[in-house]
Amino acid sequence: MRFFLMIFAWLVLGLCFLVNKGECLIPKSLLKDIHSVNKGGPYIGVVVPNGFEMNPLLQSSSFVVNRKHPYLDISGRRFRVGTLKNQRVIIVMTGLSMLNAGITTQLLLSMFNVKGVVHYGIAGNANVELEIGDVVIPKFWAHTGLWSWQRYGQGPESELPLESNGDYTRNVGYLKFSDYNNDTSIDNLLNNVWYQPEEVFPIRTTPETRQHVFWVPVDKHYFKLSKKLEGMELEECINATTCLPRTPKVARVERGVSANMFIDNEAYRTFLSSKFNATPIDMESAAVALICYQQNIPFLAIRALSDLAGGGSAISNEASIFAPLAAQNAVAVLIKFVQLLSS
């Protein structure tokens, strides 16, 4: 199915050669370069949020740049072409947020011959059993920033607006703000926010036939393969005087969550842990997962824990200190995983 979709896409793009350059959304020279790159595929797409997370990978001796096409610039994104541990890869930086991550991932899958996507970066940690520097690989991802905000005076038994139409649901659960008042006997006018599943349109269904998904699974084969990453040796020191309390480890976990929020709040961290059994908290992974889910592309996310999202510890909330170390550990695990894919 994906083969025929790619053929159709190239037929459509090929029409650009029949019109004047000014009438074509994609310049002819860029189309030729995309076609040339795709002939060398298929590729593993490596999606990364920010430059400080990407640079350790680009500087690694494991990454070898494609000499003919080191990169292609499309819609403000730079798609870097090369090999990583003998696996053909295209590396792209998304920028911050769910929107940027979704747009970039869709561009990657629409323009290039990609057989799988691996996303990596740093994240906050909501799991009290893990520590800064650990690298986690969740089995499921959810977007926890899509809400139905209930009016004051209504409660869990009150139907949400448009719920009967199938637009919103109370199945996932809610956050009640008065549970977090200093005086819990006082109600809170902010009332409740109900978490909502994403509306999705998978390519294998009839167009505009909507479906809903909250927990997006990663690829079963990728997740099974990632078990071989447990036991990896990771960095624990930034310098001679600044080290973590123990050697970091790789752990497969059940769930990760994403939203357009940087979480540095202990109460909300505890809520995400108790309500959703979440470990990593970030701003991009669920968006990448949702795009890959809709496009039927294998996906896995690797996130190194850079801070405790407001949780209590002598080294909590020190993302500015430990983010570089976490990024380096995320890259090390990524490289090892890509090597496993090659073998």
**Token pair in block for residue 62:** 């494991």
> What is the C-alpha separation between 53 and 59, in angstroms, rounded?
11
Long-range Cβ pairs for the range 52-55 (8 Å, 24+): 52/323, 52/324, 52/327, 53/120, 53/121, 53/122, 53/327, 53/330, 53/331, 54/91, 54/93
User: Mean pLDDT, to the nearest integer, of 293-312?
Assistant: 94
Q: What is the pLDDT of residues 327-337, one digit of tens each?
A: 999 999 999 99
Q: What is the pLDDT of residues 45-56, one digit of tens each?
A: 999 999 999 999
Q: pLDDT grade, residue 321 (50/70/90)? A: confident
Q: Write down the residue that tokens 């909330």 correspond to.
A: 317
Which of 161, 120, 157, 99 is closest to 290 using CA atoms? 99
Q: What is the pLDDT of residue 342?
A: 86
Residue 22 reports pLDDT greater than 90: no
> What is the C-alpha separation between 323 and 55, in angstroms, rounded?
13
> What is the C-alpha separation between 68 and 9, in angstroms, rounded?
24
Q: pLDDT grade, residue 23 (50/70/90)? A: very low
Q: What is the pLDDT of residues 79-115, one digit of tens each?
A: 999 999 999 999 999 999 999 999 999 999 999 999 9
> What is the C-alpha separation between 140 and 25, in angstroms, rounded?
36
Q: What is the pLDDT of residue 187?
A: 93
Question: Percentage of the chain surpassing pLDDT 70?
Answer: 91
Q: Who has greater pLDDT, 119 or 17? A: 119
Q: What is the pLDDT of residue 5?
A: 47
Which of 46, 38, 90, 36 is closest to 65 using CA atoms? 90
As a whole number, the mean pLDDT across the chain is 92
Q: What is the pLDDT of residue 314?
A: 58
Residue 19 reports pLDDT greater than 70: no
Q: What is the pLDDT of residue 122?
A: 97
3-state secondary structure of 209: coil
Give me the sign of the Cα torsion angle 205, 210, 213, 218: positive
Weakest mean pLDDT among 9-23, 143-157, 202-216: 9-23
User: Mean pLDDT, to the nearest integer, of 254-271?
Assistant: 96
Q: What is the pLDDT of residue 229?
A: 98
Q: pLDDT grade, residue 17 (50/70/90)? A: very low
Q: What is the pLDDT of residue 184?
A: 77
Q: What is the pLDDT of residues 27-38, one digit of tens each?
A: 889 999 999 999
Domains of the chain in start order, with CATH, are: 40-145+198-342 (3.40.50.1580)
Q: pLDDT grade, residue 9 (50/70/90)? A: low
Q: What is the pLDDT of residue 242?
A: 87
Q: What is the pLDDT of residue 6?
A: 55
User: Mean pLDDT, to the nearest integer, of 186-208?
Assistant: 95
User: Mean pLDDT, to the nearest integer, of 131-150?
Assistant: 97
- Which whole-number Å values give the CA distances from 280 to 21, 61, 131, 270, 276, in the listed order? 46, 28, 11, 12, 11
User: Mean pLDDT, to the nearest integer, of 292-313?
Assistant: 93
Q: What is the pLDDT of residue 24?
A: 56
